[in-house]
Structure 1
């Protein structure tokens, strides 16, 4: 910093920003510890439990007491866990457990803390992308499909029958009678498996690029004894099966593709007359300045930087990124030939947008 810059520096603003950065660092550390707590089941162990010592908590979770004690200290400092120094006992308030456990009534936000840990795991690979302009592959990301399956479980599968499918009222009766359904970019297939169990007369297929996700989906379907659902490893670049499907879904899958517009066009072309395409994606705007108040905007841009953008580029795509915007999605549907397009935002889920497109 030059002498002139030092003279014009507003020290109050500089110090306030430095304090803010310190808060970011502290919050980032808390999020990383939150990821550990989720993966180790510690929040579930603590939920509903009377104040307990670190030894009691560790025994209940079947973990090392010394490590549990240090993790608890981090959670106490973050204001997540309460601590009584007189008795050296810890407690997770019910109001905190309401968004941190696997059956949390407000949704399990600790699931998303895993993204913070993942950012660090792939930092070296991300630096190489910045330097070379190259992309990544899905298998560059440890635990990615496990994280996305948990996310899908609470944002899609949990509300599938009460909130999501009712966005397409006529499809419920058709599913009961028996139709052909495709989930494009199905991941581990939790939504498709739930539909296959609910509607035994319909026939379901899931396509995804990642072999490990498809194998997991197949194993789950076999364990459930489902004979009306199949899963296939498939690169959806250039996909089109004209007149093949009555109902097509894609959940948080389009923006990662090599050719998102081509996929949307191919999926619409693959619908039979009267068919419906239900597409879910992040509901942010394509305009950066409009996303300042969007939920988890910083996290979503960060995930886009290290995953969604480089995964697309790694396939030879343009790298639209996570925050490609609902406006872009709607334009793709319109230009791909959708006859009608309905855009929905569910009251309990301000982060996602749901498009119902008909041909």
Structure 2
């Protein structure tokens, strides 16, 4: 029996070798060279993304934006960081085309056009926030490889800095445009909030959007639920520091959640596809709204069909994040793992199945990555 198994393995190897030899004889050498260059560029860009994440967390882009030009020694003095490490990081930024470098004076300069998308006050938003996801992918490599082998999932505690990254992301995509662009998607909503209603943010994370609404609309009462105890603890401290008395936060597993007819408004910002059972989750939210209530849901605006996402913003990054985070987080709760790119079509179908009949979906011109649903009871 052992001899037969060995023969089978040897035969498979021989067949594979023959197949590779056939490919080697027929492949287009020029196209292969082009592809090699493409892969090399991906590797280079991946390394740059990790270093961008380091620069963001250390506040280096913000510091560089405040200085006309600087040497590595001057930057070390201004930041309190070690010059030798700064010099290597600056070299990465120069060869990646992010910083300008003057060899004669050994000075570095961050152009205003580059600062516009790499600083915390950037006019175009801070893309360095998303670079942190690339760094996080590497930190989770061993756990992700084990997931491939075992089929198991993860828990939120497996992800260092996850809620911090998501809070920064939400600050740009949700909180910054909340009052000008997002709430007015339902024209009646700002007035109702001003008059005073009961609001739930289901999957609130660190609660930035809810805190902003509580400050703006003191007559309304706001509640945030999230599975992450660390995120809830952060949100509670923020509410206390701001002296807000119309807001509460609770660490809560929303699996099977329902509080019949309790809320006038429920929001979920980039939270539904991570749930153990998104369909049951939405059904529970529908049942928890009062008559005339409204559900505001943000999620990734990609399609459920892979072929439609080739040109979708950050599609490669989003599928990678789905592989390492969103899919295993759902599987870790016993869910099927719909993933980040479950698609706006799936989301709309789930909303209808949950009982929502009056559904609108919107795209915001300044935010090509997300879709916004307004669903009324």
Normalising by structure 1, we get a TM-score of 0.99
Residue aligned with 1:47, SS: helix
Query: d(CA) in 1 for partners of 2:75 and 2:185?
Result: 44
Q: Deviations over 1:62-103 (max 9, x none)?
A: 111111111000000000000000110000000000000001
Residue aligning to 1:273:
291
Residue aligning to 1:56:
74
Query: d(CA) in 1 for partners of 2:336 and 2:96?
Result: 39
Which of residues 225, 236, 239 in structure 2 aligns to 1:221? 239
Q: Deviations over 1:190-225 (max 9, x none)?
A: 000000000000000000001000000000000000
Q: Deviations over 1:264-292 (max 9, x none)?
A: 11111111010000000000000000000
Which of residues 37, 43, 59 in structure 2 aligns to 1:41? 59
Q: Deviations over 1:20-47 (max 9, x none)?
A: 0000000000000000000000000000
- Asked if 2 retains the 8 angstrom alpha-carbon contact of 1:310 and 1:319, the reply is yes
Residue aligning to 1:20:
38
Give how far 1:4 is off: 2.3
Residue aligning to 2:324:
306
Residue aligning to 1:357:
375
Query: d(CA) in 2 for partners of 1:347 and 1:104?
Result: 18
User: Aligned-residue CA RMSD in angstroms?
Assistant: 0.7
Residue aligned with 2:223, SS: strand
Which of residues 250, 254, 257 in structure 2 aligns to 1:232? 250
Query: d(CA) in 2 for partners of 1:173 and 1:325?
Result: 32
- Asked if 2 retains the 8 angstrom alpha-carbon contact of 1:48 and 1:94, the reply is no
Contiguous gaps of at least 5 residues in structure 2:
1-16
Query: d(CA) in 1 for partners of 2:212 and 2:244?
Result: 10
Residue aligned with 2:291, SS: strand
Which stretch has the larger CA shift, 29-38 or 60-69? Answer: 60-69
Count of aligned positions:
359
Residue aligning to 2:3:
none
Larger Rg: 2
Give how far 1:3 is off: 3.1
Residue aligning to 1:343:
361
Residue aligning to 1:283:
301
Query: d(CA) in 1 for partners of 2:185 and 2:365?
Result: 13
Q: Deviations over 1:283-321 (max 9, x none)?
A: 000000000010000000000000000000000000000
Contiguous gaps of at least 5 residues in structure 1:
none
Residue aligning to 1:263:
281
Query: d(CA) in 2 for partners of 1:251 and 1:61?
Result: 35
Q: 1:72-111 maps to which residues of 2 (within 5 A)?
A: 72-111=90-129
